[in-house]
Amino acid sequence: MLGAPASLAQDRPHFEISGQAVAELTHVNPVPRDSGLTELRIVQPVLMLHGMALGGRLTLIATANFEGLTIKDGELTPGAWGEGFVDRRHPHTYAHELMVAWHQSLGFVRTGFALGKGFAPFGTDDPMSRPTLRYPVNHHFSQILERAVAEVSIAAGKFGLEAATFNGDEPENPRQWPNFSRFGDSWSVRGTALPLPGLETQISLAKVKSPEHRPGAATDQWKWSASARLERGNVYGLVEWARTSELAGLFVFTSVLAEGAATFGRHRPYFRIENTERPEESRLVNPFRSQRPHFENSIQGITRWGVYTAGYTVTGPRWRGFSLWPLVEASYARVTSVTGGVFDPDNFYGKPEIWAFTLGLRVDAGMLGHRMGRYGVLSAVTSPMSHSH
């Protein structure tokens, strides 16, 4: 059955705790209104709790993210945007996930229910659970995260369907909880199929009400996503397409991404190719920040980001349950204007080509991980976080 690994069939309550953090030294040239910038940061500091009871039918997933302490001003990431950050990845909320899920077999059909704060059933996996350290530009097009979610799911054989309702508003700072008065104003559905061993396909649709204006007075988004994911033996690959439409199609943003990795003993090279359109919004005095709350008249144009990333990581020493993963990563980005408009990327960045280089050290303990956003009957816990293979 889809998402029903035998490893969950435990009669007694069982809890596992794991965690990770990445120390990274990153240089980006150019950055907004400057020639270059180098920063040392701790990123992705998370602590995870997985609990199971009643033969695995009842599960608890809790993920605490401490980026509000380590990257409160964001992480240098060319092309990144969202939650008021531009060309920096925003810190996620301290309560990244807090989900309770239940699933039950009814003959050859499995049904499930999940409730809490987490990912809506839409799009692809959180980039944190994928090989590349640097987040893609399309993070807010391809995932809907940190919402108050109520989800139902059903699976039969190699097919599954999830549907959920949630609050549309995005967090405005790491301490913020969802606006519960808006719970139920947005929805998403995702269909999943496993046509071949190791191959997973999905297609998603969502309507998100006023995500970038907490009271709910801004534009709504219609979002589509389709992807194919391969994880078989020592090989991983993902191809995805995403589209977000705002203001009855006045603003449309599309994204195409492909990434892959292969493991050879202790060595793991990986790559990502991305072509994503993003909105260019009014900047504040700080050129890495945009106006919030966001309205449609804040958009000053649309840019297209072609980003090519390659990296390499190696299994390092293990010490008292901790694993070390040294890594090196480089990205080349080219930004062009799609609509013309007020925003001129050549003037803003000084040139259309941007380079980013990172030296990093990932430290984890017991990091089996999970597929964030796959809860209950469709929780693919047999597929650990890709970097931990």
pLDDT in tens, 81-91: 999 999 999 99
Q: How far is CA 384 from CA 200, 232, 236, in A?
A: 14, 12, 12
What's the confidence (pLDDT) of residue 216? 86
In a domain, 195, yes or no: yes
- The stretch 59-67 carries a mean pLDDT of 95
Residue-level pLDDT at 9: 44
pLDDT above 80 for 156: yes
How many domains, in total, are found in the chain? Answer: 1
**Secondary element (H or E) of residue 142:** helix 139-142
- In tens, the pLDDT along 289-328 reads 987 766 556 778 899 999 999 999 998 888 778 899 999 9
Q: 107 CB contacts (<8 Å, ≥6 apart)?
A: none
Domain boundaries, position 367: 6-388
CATH code for position 259: 2.40.160.10
pLDDT attached to residue 182:
97
Q: Is residue 171 part of a domain?
A: yes
Q: What is the pLDDT of residue 374?
A: 87
Residue 248 has what pLDDT? 82
Interval 251-276 mean pLDDT: 96
pLDDT digits (tens, 9 = 90+) for 118-151: 999 999 999 999 999 999 999 999 999 999 999 9
Residue 79 pLDDT greater than 80, yes or no: yes
317-330 burial, b at 16+ Cβ within 10 Å, e below that, comes to eeeeeebebebebe
**Domain assignment of residue 263, yes or no:** yes
pLDDT score, position 387: 44
